[in-house]
């Protein structure tokens, strides 16, 4: 069968196993790694879709087709924190949607500007310019030692749900005439709704629509 998931929705093929309580869907990784560009994982629905192990949980509300969260602050390792306004355009109950159909994160201009300042404080790599002009902070890299200079960034959601994101999920590879660069995977949301994108969500989360929560737990989704 065909399932449509995400905001905006996209289609995946799934198999309903009548002998269990599972629906299996094979999906392409939203941001393939350098070592496995064809990575895939399973989408698990129903009673067996349990987020096990150490996890943090935040309340979720539903507004139309959007799953809405409340982001309180963003913390950059080795630098400072950036507070996030409690309201956002187009939302009544929170200030950011969690979107499986959007690749990067979108934040209000003031939050994004402060985040760029905090990240710039702790990264000594040469700055570069995104050739598309979308991502406001990029750095030139020559190899893995340069990538190790990038900080982890924590998104703190309501309910003391602090989600620590590694450079692999907060920075994206870009190529320009000047060579390889990495860019902070965050853009200006402008007058639109802020979005927590799917690159940041890799190997992290599970939804519970019965009690309206999102749980974040580190797991290798290709091994589920």
pLDDT 10s digits, 50-105: 445 568 999 999 999 899 999 999 999 999 999 999 999 999 999 999 987 899 99
Q: If we measure between CA atoms, which residue out of 107, 96, 108 comes closest to residue 7?
A: 96
Task: Give the pTM.
Answer: 0.77
Q: Does residue 185 surpass a pLDDT of 90?
A: yes
Q: Does residue 157 surpass a pLDDT of 90?
A: yes
CA distance 86 to 93: 9
pLDDT tens column, 110-123: 999 999 999 999 99
pLDDT value at residue 174: 85
Structure tokens at 205: 């989360």
pLDDT tens column, 6-39: 555 555 545 454 444 444 343 444 444 434 445 5
Would you call 133 helix, strand, or coil by DSSP? coil
Q: Where are the alpha helices (DSSP H) in 5-143?
A: 109-122
Q: Does residue 148 surpass a pLDDT of 70?
A: yes
pLDDT value at residue 26: 37
Name the more confident of 72 and 220: 72
CA distance 105 to 110: 14
């Amino acid at each position: 069968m065909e399932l449509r998931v995400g905001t905006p929705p996209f289609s995946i093929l799934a198999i309903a196993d009548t002998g269990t309580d599972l629906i299996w869907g094979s999906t392409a990784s939203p941001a393939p790694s350098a070592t496995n560009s064809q990575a895939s994982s399973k989408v698990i629905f129903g009673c067996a879709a349990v987020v096990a192990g150490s996890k943090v949980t935040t309340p979720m509300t539903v507004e139309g087709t959007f799953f809405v969260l409340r982001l309180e602050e963003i913390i950059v390792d080795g630098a400072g924190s950036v507070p996030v306004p409690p309201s956002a355009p187009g939302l009544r109950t929170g200030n950011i949607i969690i979107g499986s159909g959007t690749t990067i994160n979108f934040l209000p201009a003031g939050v994004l500007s402060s985040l760029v300042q905090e990240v710039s404080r702790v990264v000594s790599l040469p700055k570069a310019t995104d050739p598309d002009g979308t991502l406001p902070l990029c750095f030139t890299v020559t190899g893995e030692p340069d990538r190790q200079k990038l900080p982890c960034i924590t998104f703190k959601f309501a309910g003391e749900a602090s989600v620590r994101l590694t450079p692999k999920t907060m920075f994206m590879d870009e190529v320009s005439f000047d060579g390889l660069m990495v860019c902070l995977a965050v853009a200006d949301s402008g007058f639109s709704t802020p979005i927590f994108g799917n690159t940041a969500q890799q190997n992290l989360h599970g939804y519970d629509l019965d009690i309206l929560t999102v749980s974040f737990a580190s797991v290798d989704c290709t091994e589920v």
